[in-house]
Structure 1
Amino acid sequence: MAKTSVATDKPIALAMTGASGAPYGLRLLQCLLQEGRQVYLMISKPAQVVLGMETDLKLPGRPREIQVHLGELYDAAPDQLQVFDREQWTAPVASGSSPPEAMVVCPCTTATLAAISQGASRSLIERAADVVLKEQRKLILVVRETPFSEIHLEHMLRLARMGVVIMPANPAFYHRPESIEALVDFVVARTLDHLGIANQLIPRWGQSLQED
């Protein structure tokens, strides 16, 4: 049955860029919607290419069509999910007068990392991150690259000093993952933790785990 209401919390902005790791972004989107959070979604053109390579999901080309498709896939309430075009400068996330509660870039390319660090604001994703920074809201970057160069690390350090959460997509193994989904859930759970959203996606450190 379709949902009929949306939580009154301020929206969460979620951006997906063209790094490997599309399943992280999709699973995070699903969890946010399941928790009743309103989501402002931005997907870069390279991200759509990677989505087609790493998942069976075939997204349409236009933001409104993507919104309908993902909304139906994840059983979102009306208007719970809003998808914005890459240069939709009238979107709420483009202005400090209407900032989201927090923003996550998942996965985050090192190019996006660099642009945010420099305040480039060449796309809506970069502008939205710039708004979140200047309005002192939470920004989480799920960076997906290996190894990191000195340039990457310098950008991370600069942003970390501004209060940005740098969260490389590094799943752990203490919870004995038996599937790719379990590895994805570890990173998504840690992201939700930093958003202040309770979840039971993984066993926590210190909880009893299955013994050999």
Structure 2
Amino acid sequence: MERKRRMIVAITGATGIIYGIRLLEVLRKLDIETHLIVSQSAQSTLHYETDLTMKELKELADVTYSVKDIGAAISSGSFPTMGMIVAPCSIKTMSQIAFSMTDNLVARAADVVLKERKRLVLMLRETPLSLTHIRNMQAVTENGGIIFPPVPAFYTRPQTIDDLVNQTVGRVLDLFDLETGEFPRWGEDL
């Protein structure tokens, strides 16, 4: 029997919730089963940055979990996934992940992904960075995670914010060998 392709997507309270939303939309098109966690702070960000309701956000995912449910399926290494993307990722969440402070499902699921040697991508949204932030980024990287700030690429000559978001989301999904076909590539399309 063929195993389902599953991706954990966590949305935390940093600005840039559109990245998490677009990831869910694109993963659905790619027929990847999504498992969504939305932090308490992300619920506020959703209100500030979009017109979506929490119900509409949750409907973009196949399965949703409460951030408090540390006994959820995705908190076990025996539940197979492709990995996890935190989009956007707050400094608080990144710091919890860096030091295995697993008192919520976002940090617990990320810890499981790392221990199972799966891909963990943190779309870190903060600037400027303090030395503590940089050291915590180093700890995540040393543990196998990937720090992926959503930095726009202008060589694609984006015309809209959607162009910028699609390119960034496409590059994140490249890390999982998933082709979105949603943005031009250097040396191929440009």
* Bin of the TM-score, shorter chain as denominator length: over 0.9
The C-alpha deviation readout for 1:85-140, integer Å capped at 9, x for no partner, is: 11123311111221422100010000000000010001011100011111111100
Residue pair 1:99, 1:131 contacting (<8 A) in 2 also:
no
Alpha-carbon shift at residue 208 of structure 1 (Å): 4.6
Q: What is the RMSD computed on CA atoms of the aligned residues?
A: 1.6
Counterpart code for 2:117: Q
Alignment correspondent of 1:127: 108
Aligned length: 189
Assess if the C-alpha contact under 8 Å between 2:25 and 2:60 holds in 1: no
Instruction: Give the TM-score normalised by structure 1.
Output: 0.84
Alignment of 1:1-212 (within 5 A): 8-60=3-55, 67=58, 69-70=59-60, 81-209=62-190
Bigger CA radius of gyration: 1
Unaligned runs of at least 5 residues, structure 2 = none
Cα separation, 2, equivalents of 1:182 and 1:88: 35
**Alignment CA distance shift 1:198-1:66 (3 Å):** closer
CA distance in 2, matches of 1:138, 1:185: 20
The TM-score with structure 2 as length reference comes to 0.94
Asked if the contact 1:87/1:124 (under 8 Å) is kept, the reply is yes
How far apart are the structure 1 equivalents of 2:29 and 2:181? 13
What displacement does 1:196 show?
A: 1.1
Task: Encode CA deviations 1:165-184: one digit per residue, 9 max, x unaligned.
Answer: 11001111000011111111
